[in-house]
Amino acid sequence: MKKTWWKEAVVYQVYWRSFYDSNGDGIGDLEGLLSKLHYIKDLGADVIWLNPMYQSPDKDNGYDISDYYGVMEKAGDMQTVERLITEVHNLGMKIIMDLVVNHTSDQHPWFLESRASEDNPKRDWYIWKDAKDGKEPNNWRSYFAPSPWTWEEKTGQYYFHSFAAEQPDLNWENPEVREEIYKIMRFWLDKGIDGFRMDVINLLAKQKGFRDAADPYDLSYLGNNPGIHEYLQEMNREVLKHYDIMTVGEIPFVTPEDGLLYVGEDRNELHTLFHFQVADDMPSWDMLRYKEIQKKWYEGLKGKGWNSQFLNNHDHTRQVTRYGNDGEYRAESAKLLGTLVHTMPGTPYIFQGEEIGMTGVCFEDISDYRDIAMKNKYNELVERGEDPVQVLKDLQPLSRDNSRTPVQWDDSENAGFTSGSPWIKVNPNYKEINVKRELETPDSVFCYYKKLISLRKENEVMVYGDYEDLSDGQEELYIYTRSLWEVTWLIVLNHSERTNEVKLPEIAHDGKELLLANYVEVPEEELAQKFILRPFEARIYKI
Ligand code: ISL
Ligand code: CA
């Protein structure tokens, strides 16, 4: 397994519209990010992943692009972007951007042409189908709207969209489309960005024939279709291989076996991937399932491909709420989950605010929510006659807005995020949970994350070490090793509100050195062969 910078990196995800507002319009922006780069540098992250800031009508918070060469004015302008790239590099960091090429905005000039007439040269840049028996061409559902088919009266056909109707899918079978996308990628890479996070990149190839699905609600028919690897190998030949960059594919529905086809070092496709066997398929914490997933991915990729580790992002509610304990043990469980993500094999991702233990949110009215996915779902269910109060209650825990509330900088109005009125409400707990307080508190979540990251810089075992779970079958304790040459680390976690006794494995009986703990007082138990872990206690030992 060759060593590279993107395997050793810690990535910090900036959802800029909720990061920091520099001009008081209530929306975060790139100028605001520039003014906070030192904060990210101080934390120790190496790479920034910037969510889409391209020109867009903003129906899906930038994931509906209308000009890949333009910058959304609420984010800033091209000069700001260029300054951001320069400043990030001056600080010794790197920046990767979001590549959203499975679909464009319905306001993109390409689509305006494509929908204009059946014989328009750009008609075949998107996916158009005749009605079948006067209805949609098949029984599929989309991510964000009941059907992925929207009728276009003017030309008497449906167009296909995996997400909202405002996000028509590009037709990747068309070489003109692929050529244009490669030009766009070179444009941004030549500006000096250090790679791409590739939005739902495994959806580019569509199922031949668009046949009805046995279960329309299982959207896996949207991904991993024949042709996808040919597209990615062409993208690699045409663009990726010519730059020293990092690529991470967002790949829903992928298992370790087919994940290797995307990131195998001999595949010449992508460098790393996000899978969703936790974030999409594990609604709440399930230790046995989590251990099983980690084991399968470790064995599936070991020595051949590289994984990512994350427990939340802008699409998934905040980890301390979903997978930890955001009440009595918020700080402890935030640190425990951070320990988990940073000591599992793969590149760790920190979603803005995670490093201070920010929590999910629970707004009392649907009008407080902004996410198109949630609003479309709410409307679909309420129009179907379901009780609006119950629908809201059911949708709140997994709403993507949970992780999109503004970063809480201090305890001043709007948590110091904006001097204007924020585009989305600030989480009311900002008075207790904010960066200012975290920086002033010696054993804060922030300080713990900083130590986790500096441990990675000093110890290759954390990056390249073999992984072995020594706690098979245990539902609350997670005891595992990372080992590289003569160095072995033992990580012990108690994912529970109860105390639990840890019986140390044989290898730890001749002494161990405590490297990091999420409780301030750790009784010295140099040669102890068992000890008690407190609620959500985490410890990293060198043995
Ligand atoms: O939110 C999800 C369901 O839990 C995710 O599966 C997500 O919708 C899916 O992985 C695609 O997400 C990406 O593409 C979307 C965009 O809305 C998301 O923000 C982006 O991360 C369409 O571009
Ligand atoms: Ca702003």
Confidence band, pLDDT 50/70/90 cuts, at residue 524 = confident
Q: Which of 106, 199, 222 to mutate to test the pocket of ligand 1 (most atoms within 8 A of CB)?
A: 199
**Quick check: 291 pLDDT over 90?**
yes
The finding on whether 163 has its CB within 6 A of some atom of ligand 1 is yes
For residue 495, what are its two tokens? Answer: 């994912």
Instruction: Give 44's contacts (C-beta < 8 A, 6+ positions apart).
Output: 10, 450, 453, 454, 457
**Helix (H) or strand (E) run with residue 462 in it:** helix 461-464
Confidence band, pLDDT 50/70/90 cuts, at residue 528 = confident
The finding on whether 252 has its CB within 6 A of some atom of ligand 1 is yes
Strand ranges, E, within 456-519: 466-469, 477-484, 487-494, 500-503, 513-517
> What φ, ψ does residue 468 adopt, rounded to 5°?
-145, 125
Q: In this prediction, what percent of the chain has a pLDDT beyond 70?
A: 100
- Closest residue by Cα to atom 16, ligand 1, is 63
Q: Which of 49, 63, 105 to mutate to test the pocket of ligand 1 (most atoms within 8 A of CB)?
A: 63
Q: What is the pLDDT of residue 152?
A: 97
Distance 315 CA to ligand 1 centre (A): 6
Confidence band, pLDDT 50/70/90 cuts, at residue 1 = confident
| pLDDT tens-digit map of 441-475 | 999 999 999 999 999 999 999 999 999 999 989 99
Active site residue 199: yes
Q: Measured between alpha carbons, how far is 350 from 470 in angstroms, rounded to an integer?
A: 26
**Quick check: 525 pLDDT over 80?**
no
Per-residue CA distances from 500 to 162, 452, 506 (Å): 46, 24, 19
- Closest residue by Cα to atom 19, ligand 1, is 315
**Quick check: 526 pLDDT over 80?**
no
Distance 359 CA to ligand 1 centre (A): 20
Average pLDDT, the chain: 97
Q: Can you list the domains of the chain with their CATH numbers?
A: 1-100+329-360+405-458 (3.20.20.80), 109-160 (3.90.400.10), 175-309 (no CATH), 362-402 (no CATH), 465-542 (2.60.40.1180)
- The sign of the dihedral angle between the CA atoms of 222, 226, 229, 230 is negative
Rounded to an integer, the average pLDDT of 425-437 is 98
Q: Measured between alpha carbons, how far is 56 from 59 in angstroms, rounded to an integer?
A: 8
Assess contact for 219 and 253: CB atoms under 8 A: yes
**Quick check: 223 pLDDT over 80?**
yes
Rounded to an integer, the average pLDDT of 356-379 is 96
